[in-house]
Amino acid sequence: MLNALAPVLPGLIGGSADLAPSNLTLMKMFGDFQKGSYEERNLRFGVREHGMGAICNGIALHNSGLLPYCATFYIFTDYMRSAMRMSALSEVGVVYVMTHDSIGLGEDGPTHQPVEHLASFRAMPNMNMIRPCGGNETAGAYKVAVASRKRPTTIALSRQGMPNLPGCSVEGVEKGAYVVHGGEGKPDCIIIGTGSELPMAVDAAKKLEADGKKVRVVSMPCWELFAEQSAEYKESVLPKDVTARVAVEAATSFGWERYIGQSGKFVGIDDFGASAPADILYEKFGITVDAVVAAAKAQM
């Protein structure tokens, strides 16, 4: 995505904390910015996450027209949280590209698997916390980030591949949450998903529909943007009289009661992860299509 943006955004400059090959954040048509090569746009920050965030804040605050981004594994925001908080406090639109966003990263284990981080950044004032699914939503996340010059954006990206689901769109991301499946009429149940678990939500909906249930699937990549929508729009996506709700996300349940209510069900992980391939971990922690189906049936 950055390599698509770089030619049309001449001010885009940034890099990774020594993880560019893993983050896929190297602008391939440019070299490294250094002494004597000031026209280049890749910054080699080294393994210094807090310094990386602070440098990007400085670039943004200079108001020269440059648009800074920086990247690392999502878990390593623990090392740079104060710099990210200063972005929000200072109202500068730094773009934080954070990959390997869940237990889905696999064998690196719980030291590298974010669990509470989505909730943590959703709690931070003036921060867009976006967790997209697939290419269309990722494009939408970058569109929001580039346009948001007074609010930083953290984009949480998964290690595992995922499909471009029918119904996923750039425009939907800009609204924070939107219907991607089963939008006609009043549903019996609403399933809300984000990122790599959105395909799971759609698969669960199709299973329930085979049993004669009417199910709506909502993609909710950004709570902050959804909260800013009109009451009418929010009601059209999450009608108040549909109380049978399930949220699925490979992260902690903290905060989800805002959208699923006290009677809703959450499928996720309220514990540290483990070291194993992603498919084994999802099964071990009960983040499966069958678990989503069971959670929905329990309310209908």
How far apart CA 227 and CA 255 sit, in angstroms, is 13
Return all residues near 222 (Cβ < 8 A) that are at least 6 apart.
128, 129, 130, 131, 141, 144, 173, 176, 177
Question: Angle formed by the axes of helices 49-61 and 81-90, to 10°?
Answer: 20
Q: Give the neighbor-by-neighbor strand order of the sheet with 12-16.
A: 42-44, 12-16, 67-73, 95-99, 153-156, 128-130
Q: Which tokens is 190 given?
A: 């609403």
Stretch (H or E) spanning 21: helix 20-23
Render the burial of 120-149: b for 16+ CB within 10 Å, e for the rest. bbbebeebbbbbbbbebbbbbbbebbbebe
Look up 49 and say whether it is catalytic: yes
Q: What is the CA radius of gyration of the chain?
A: 19
What phi, psi does 40 have (nearest 5°)? Answer: -80, 165
Out of 39, 40, 49, 228, the active site residue is: 49
Q: Give the neighbor-by-neighbor strand order of the sheet with 178-181.
A: 178-181, 215-219, 189-193, 245-248, 265-267
How many residues can be counted in the chain?
Answer: 300
How far apart CA 1 and CA 25 sit, in angstroms, is 9
* Active site positions, annotated: 49
